[in-house]
Amino acid sequence: MLDSTLLDLPWATLVTLSSGYISYFIANVGLKEHHKPIDILFSTLIFSLLPTAIYHVTLWCGVNAYVAALPPVLLALTLGALWRKYGRKRLYAFLRKHNISWSDGTHSAWQQLFGQIEYRATEVFVILKDGSGLLSRPLARFEGLPNGPFALGNTGDVILYVTHHSAPGSDEWHEFASVIDDSWGALATYIPAEQIARVEIRRNRVKAVSTPPEV
């Protein structure tokens, strides 16, 4: 529940905290569930430095305090996006290159999958604990659909548009004929983490991926 005392803070303080948290949120989407409150606080303050400076410069130019809050917010959005897309990757590349640290700060290998935005997934295999398999391909077919083309939950669960399935212990894949039905729509499948033994994701750098040959 929102603490009402937060709304009693000076407007400049609210602008500082809001702009900083906007940047922090965008920069860490999908990567922040293990962050401690102290991590969130100081990350927010660091991200707020430049937007806050812009806010005070705008005030100095004679702009109304409420209108002056718009440039910091827009800058915060930009900073968060730039850090997520370019800054984070280049910082950790620098640390690895100079043998300062080989860690990139992610909480798990599963979480690593969320940050590879320069690659495009082409197909996803989910092998269940009973030995059966579920396959979705080509993933480009499901772009624009709800949760499409697939979704990886932070707890290890998966949402998939299943195009093929295999029986336990079988290497033979059978295709579902009506994943997308003109009348009924698209069929998404939720797979709980406790049922999953392995997830395989094929990726490449090519944005436009042709349909791979049938299994």
> What does the pLDDT read at residue 211?
46
* Number of separate domains in the chain: 2
* Cβ-Cβ contacts under 8 Å for 20 (sequence gap 6 or more): 43, 44, 45, 46, 47, 48, 49, 51, 52, 76
Q: Smallest Cα–Cα separation from 135: which of 175, 170, 108?
A: 175
* 90 and 130 in a common domain: no
Q: Smallest Cα–Cα separation from 93: which of 78, 120, 115?
A: 115
> What does the pLDDT read at residue 199?
92
Query: Per the domain annotation, does 66 fall within a domain?
Result: yes
Domain that holds residue 50: 4-97
Q: Which residues of the chain have pLDDT under 50?
A: 1-2, 208-215
* 124 and 93 in a common domain: no
> What does the pLDDT read at residue 25?
92
Query: Per the domain annotation, does 48 fall within a domain?
Result: yes
> What does the pLDDT read at residue 156?
86
| pLDDT, tens digit (0-9, with 9 covering 90-100), for 56-94 | 999 999 888 899 999 999 999 999 999 988 888 888 888
> What does the pLDDT read at residue 1?
41
Q: By the 8 A CB rule, do 92 and 105 touch?
A: yes
> What does the pLDDT read at residue 210?
46
Rg, Å, the chain Cα set: 22
Backbone angles phi, psi at 80, to 5 degrees: -60, -45
* 143 and 80 in a common domain: no
Sequence letter at residue 206? V
pTM strictly above 0.85: no
Take residue 100 and report the two structure tokens written for it.
């300062």
The domain that contains 188 carries what CATH number?
2.30.30
> What does the pLDDT read at residue 213?
43
| pLDDT, tens digit (0-9, with 9 covering 90-100), for 174-196 | 998 888 888 889 999 999 999 99
Q: Report helix angle 37-60 to 11-27, nearest 10.
A: 120
What's the chain's average pLDDT? Answer: 85
